Amino acid sequence: MSLKSNLINIVLVDTISPGNIGSVARAMKTMGLSNLSLINPRVFPSKEATALAGNATDVLENAKVYKDLKESLKDSTFVYATSSRDRSIKWPILNAEEAAKMILSETNSNKKISIIFGKEDRGLTNEELELANKLIEIPANPDYPVLNIAMSSQVIAYEIFKASKENQSKEWRDYPEVNSEKLQMLIDHFIETAIDIDVIDPNNPKKIISRIRRMFSRLQPDEMEESFLRGFLSKINKIK
């Protein structure tokens, strides 16, 4: 299975230390990855980042900086997020090896992938995690399961590189999956409609809205399914 690195986007959110940005760039390049997106980095560009990047300064020079995480993900068909946090609403979870195999299969079908890494001191918020289709966890010593983002990115990048040596999985879909932007629009449309017809009480939603977001993210509808569902919801809106 070949490594289509141009379709894999590493996303760092609210990075505090510029040194970590440089270290992630170095980890990426050693495993053949080059697309880096930075969401509101504390300091960038930086001499510290450049120093720790080693010979991966080209990754830093080509990095894209965004103010909004959703904007950086809008062209991605699949979004993965790294997390070691327990969540009250469970999300599909893969270990790094499982995720790498899926990512290679998806990119070999020409799907764009984003992998999100959170802020050093707190990781990703629940809202940020809910933008992902699946979460990636790296098994570690339960007494000290602490990896910084450079270590985490190196492990995941390595697993992707390793998986690139395996055989390609066959694509079964007859229509391409919707990208992240369209998926979020579909989810918002569904929730708004459910509230409008009194299926969901916006003043007492409990956890159903998060469950709805999880459901659609897990199902990952294709473009035909998304078009049908948007039309279906629009028809309900007109009747209402």
pLDDT interval class at 87 (50, 70, 90):
low
**Cβ contacts of 78 within 8 Å, gap of 6 or more:** 102, 103, 106, 111, 112, 113, 114, 133, 134, 177, 220
115: β partners: 10, 80
Residue 85, pLDDT score: 62
CA 11, CA 124: separation in Å to the nearest integer? 12
CATH number of 180-239: 1.10.8
Strands, E, within the chain: which ranges? 8-13, 35-39, 64-66, 78-82, 93-95, 113-117, 134-137
Report residue 117: phi and psi, to 5°. -120, 135
Q: Check whether 123 has a pLDDT greater than 90.
A: no
**Contact at 8 Å (CB) between 220 and 177?**
yes
Taking Cα atoms as reference points, which of 179, 231, 190 lies closest to residue 75?
179
CA 74, CA 114: separation in Å to the nearest integer? 10
Domain residue spans in the chain? Answer: 5-163, 180-239
pLDDT interval class at 41 (50, 70, 90):
very high
Of the candidate CATH numbers 3.40.1000.10, 3.40.1280.10, 1.25.10.10, 3.40.50.280, the domain formed by 5-163 belongs to 3.40.1280.10
**Cβ contacts of 146 within 8 Å, gap of 6 or more:** 140
Mean pLDDT of 44-71: 97
On the question of a common fold for 5-163 and 180-239, the answer reads no
pTM, 2 dp:
0.84
pLDDT interval class at 214 (50, 70, 90):
very high
For the stretch 130-160, pLDDT in tens is 999 999 998 888 888 788 999 999 999 999 9
pLDDT interval class at 122 (50, 70, 90):
confident
Q: Check whether 239 has a pLDDT greater than 60.
A: yes
Report how far Cα 198 is from the mean position of its chain's Cα atoms.
32
